A and B are shown apart, each in its own frame.
Chain A
Amino acid sequence: MTRFAIEAEGLRKRYGDTHALAGFDLAVAEGTVCGLLGPNGAGKTTAVRILSTLLLPDGGTARVAGFDVVGDPAQVRYRIGLAGQQTSVDEILTGRENLRMWARLFRLGPREAKRRTDELLEWFGLAGAADKRVKHYSGGMRRRLDLAASFILAPRVLFLDEPTTGLDPRSRTEVWRAVRDLVAQGTTVLLTTQYLDEADRLAHQIAVLDAGMVIADGSPSRLKSMIGGDQIDVVVRDAADLPSAARIIARVADASPEIDPDAARVTAPVKDPLEAITVTARELRDAGLQVEDLTLRRPTLDEVFLSLTGRGAGADGDRPAAEKGMVRP
């Protein structure tokens, strides 16, 4: 039987006339990563704040690491870590002083706090900068220190609210590595993100949140298959060839092909991927079209998101960024 580290049923939270959460249900199995995805204002942060005992729900119930977040917050707090949208590390203190302070607040004795601090600094690759003040740290180092702080007691459940927002690609990779390491040790992670590729890479389970409710929930591949199977993409060198390319693809496609003139690309869903790519490749060559790219792929999470909510993850039609899977708020 699957054991759940996070179980939420019918969580509701209202601010004035706004329903931040309107019946939020979620179950996350122990030792897995769940990505909470949704446009701004969908209720992601509210959900994390309720589950991490920072905020009381107006209704519904939630258990985290086996304890009720409303009835037994102290027990929950011993078993969770939280890294919020802002890094809560202290700029004036050094990395070592930061960790030691948090360790003492988790009631580790002085010797144990020192041992754990050294261990975490080493493990998060911060040993070299341990005695520098945090204001001299890079963004990625701060996030890692913040993660280290939320990992002092090796939490059963770790909440990460947009852990890589505003980080450069290298720092994002560093944070991802740290998260994967934590999961390998048995921690359950609930991660909110606006970056679809982040959820795609890290999460075993993705819950799509819209207007305070989970509107889709499942593995990334299941979500992708919800809006259909494989897609074929053809990019031609000359946009004038687009109609001919579309005619060729239409013969193998499951639905009428979509043409994106700016990218000189034709896209269509296909039923039999192998047949589709073989036939398309042959016919494109026979027709003498100059082809830049011919690929077979599953839909991106952004396309899933678009089809589920009727708008992109950025909620403001931020297409170019969305196509790269990096939607900024």
Chain B
Amino acid sequence: MSMPIAPAIPTTPAERLRWALSDAWVVSGRELIHWVRNPVVILNTLLFPLIMVLLFGYVFGSAMRVAGGGDYREFLMPGMFGQTMVFGVISTVYVVAANAARGVTDRFRSMPVSSFGVLMGRVIADMLTSTLDLVILMLCGLLVGWRAHHGLGSALAAAGLLLLLRFALVWVGICMGLRLTPEGAGAAWMPLFPLTLLANTFVSPELMPAWLRIIAEWNPLSATVQACRELFGSPGLSGGSWAAEHAIELAIGWPLLITVIFLPLSIRRYRRLNR
């Protein structure tokens, strides 16, 4: 049997980056095969948004009013997009925790694989599935009357902001996943669910008590959702507060801040895993 010869360990930053990207490509390929071969996950991806749209759009929507008037379902859809981006964290946390518990992470770490590459692989896979989530959800939205009134460019910009939030949250998910057991990861939705409601997702902050309104308006999710409503031309824009007036800036700033904090934390945690 002829033994393969390993290439020399890279020394220049450019080579290291090339290797990290090649590792990321291989790892994301694995994650995507998982996703494609798991019919339950696909069904979830397709059905969950549809159920949520019908539930909130029609069941709750019949009793909801939008501050400043307008169609509730048009108001709701940007909120649903944002909530879906946040809920994506749950699957990130779970997969990362499961890989660590099953020894997959240990094998990666005992190999000369770039740690940044492995984590980027996770990010790429999550971003691709989230993009698909978003596309499906937008199609659902079109069916119930949501429209992007300011044209394709603005709509794409809004989608970009949503995915930027998702990108930042993937790093939060990796960080949490590396600390939790898969069982613990299953409980990740518990703190997330209220966080997605203490925002402008389903109810205009103007209709909330003053103290709650402040929390809701400064919630990073609200910034993204408010920015999307601006870009889509949806009804029910909040107004008055600084946060509401600078939604687009905040929708870029919050995710960048989260990434700056959690990306290095994730890489550090990954390198020092000592369970």
> Interface of A with B (CB < 8 Å)?
49, 52-56, 74-75, 77-78, 80-82, 84-88, 90, 92-93, 97, 101-108, 112, 115-116, 119, 123, 133, 149-150, 152-154, 185
Contact = CB atoms under 8 A, between A and B. Distances in A.
Contacts of B273: 54
B187 interface: no
Contacts of A97: 33
Contacts of B272: 56
Contacts of A185: 1
Contacts of A133: 37
Contact of A123 (B1, B4, B9, B108): B1
Nearest to B29: A101
Nearest to B23: A105
Interface residues of B, number: 32
A52 B274 CA distance: 12
B149 interface: no
Contacts of B30: 90, 93, 101
B150 interface: no
A156 B90 CA distance: 40
Interface of B: 1, 3-4, 6-7, 9, 19, 22-23, 26-27, 29-30, 33-34, 37-38, 101-104, 106-113, 272-274
Contact of A107 (B19, B29, B106): B19
Contacts of A81: 110
A86 B103 contact: yes
Most buried by B among A87, A97, A105: A105
21 contacts: A53-B109, A53-B110, A56-B274, A74-B112, A77-B112, A78-B112, A82-B106, A82-B107, A82-B110, A84-B106, A84-B107, A86-B103, A87-B103, A88-B102, A88-B104, A92-B33, A102-B107, A105-B23, A107-B22, A133-B37, A153-B6
Contact of B26 (A75, A80, A92, A105): A105
A107 B117 CA distance: 13
Contacts of B33: 92-93, 97
Most buried by B among A80, A90, A112, A149: A90
A54 B110 contact: yes
Nearest to A109: B7
A314 B104 CA distance: 28
A72 to B, nearest CB: 10
Nearest to A149: B107
B8 to A, nearest CB: 9
Contacts of A115: 4
A55 B272 CA distance: 7
A54 B107 CA distance: 9
A112 B113 contact: no
